[in-house]
Amino acid sequence: MPSETLVMIPPLMCDARIFSHQIRELSKEHAVMIAPATRGERMEEIASQILTWAPSKFALAGAGLGGMVAMEVIRRASDRVTRIALIDTSAQADTPEIAAAREAQIIAARSGRMDDVLQHEMNSTWMAPNTDKAAMIQLLKEMGHGLGAEVYVRQARALQRRKDQQATLRKIKQPAVVLCGRFNGQFPLKRQEFMAEMIPYGHLEVIEQGGYLTTAEAPEAVTDALRRWMKMPLMLRP
């Protein structure tokens, strides 16, 4: 039986480099595809685009914004997703306050102040204590400037407009893992525990040396966790 293709969706203003270790190691055993969440101003649009080119069946992993897209993908095409990994993300919609606060950053991006926008989006206090914060911030700046202001505006709009996906979690019958960094200040551990409890066959894996960018802060631990998840037996759904 051929191995499953793994489709990975990066977080806000990140490209494939955020998954560098996972791509290098997991591609020894599986086809690994990166699905940029860069087109469309709604999660529904981004998910639809991914489904147009993704394989007929695939394993799905998303981090941050990518995890939110992944939930929309499985909501609308559950029969195509063999398993799902949600990494440092949230199933809840933006609060009105957070959604409104994104407008200032959208205006800044449109006016050419991407340095200010990226500085706002990068919070070193959300990273693990042992993370090389200077190197991580430099990587985030490179990825962010590479994607540019138009992508930021589209992604910010998708975040503003996203729906609550907690009902989607309760319907997931595939092997599922919720991965989170112990020191993630953006999506705290309690919230991740709650997400994992809502998924019928879900389980939580805490990455002890991870923060809000766990795939890059603790890459070996994340890769090991994803490898275990990829080896979980597929279950028949009722």
How much is the pLDDT for 124? 86
How much is the pLDDT for 236? 47
Multiple choice CATH, 1-238, 3.30.1330.50, 3.40.190.10, 3.40.50.1820, 3.40.50.970: 3.40.50.1820
Q: Does this model's pTM top 0.75?
A: yes
How much is the pLDDT for 209? 94
How much is the pLDDT for 1? 45
Going residue by residue through the chain (238 aa), what tens digit of pLDDT does each one get? 458 999 999 999 999 999 999 999 999 999 999 999 999 999 999 999 999 999 999 999 999 999 999 999 999 999 999 999 999 999 999 999 999 999 999 999 999 999 999 999 988 889 999 999 999 999 999 999 999 999 999 999 999 999 999 999 999 999 999 999 999 988 989 999 999 999 998 999 999 999 999 999 999 999 999 999 999 988 645 5
For the chain, the structural domain boundaries read: 1-238
Cα 205 to Cα 182, 212, 236, distances in angstroms: 10, 14, 23
Place of tokens 């063999």: 82
Cα 105 to Cα 89, 119, 127, 160, 171, distances in angstroms: 20, 10, 22, 12, 34
How much is the pLDDT for 72? 98
Cα 233 to Cα 4, 33, 173, 238, distances in angstroms: 12, 21, 12, 16
CA angle, residues 186, 230, 19, in degrees to nearest 5? 45
DSSP per position, 54-110: S-SSEEEEEETHHHHHHHHHHHH-GGGEEEEEEES--SSPPPHHHHHHHHHHHHHHH
> What is the Cα–Cα distance from 75 to 14, expressed in whole angstroms?
23
Q: The sheet that has 81-87: what strands, in order across it?
A: 32-34, 6-9, 58-63, 81-87, 176-181, 202-207
DSSP 213: T
- Identify the CA nearest to 225 among candidates 99, 61, 81, 104: 61
Beta bridge partners of 29: none
> What is the Cα–Cα distance from 138 to 54, expressed in whole angstroms?
31
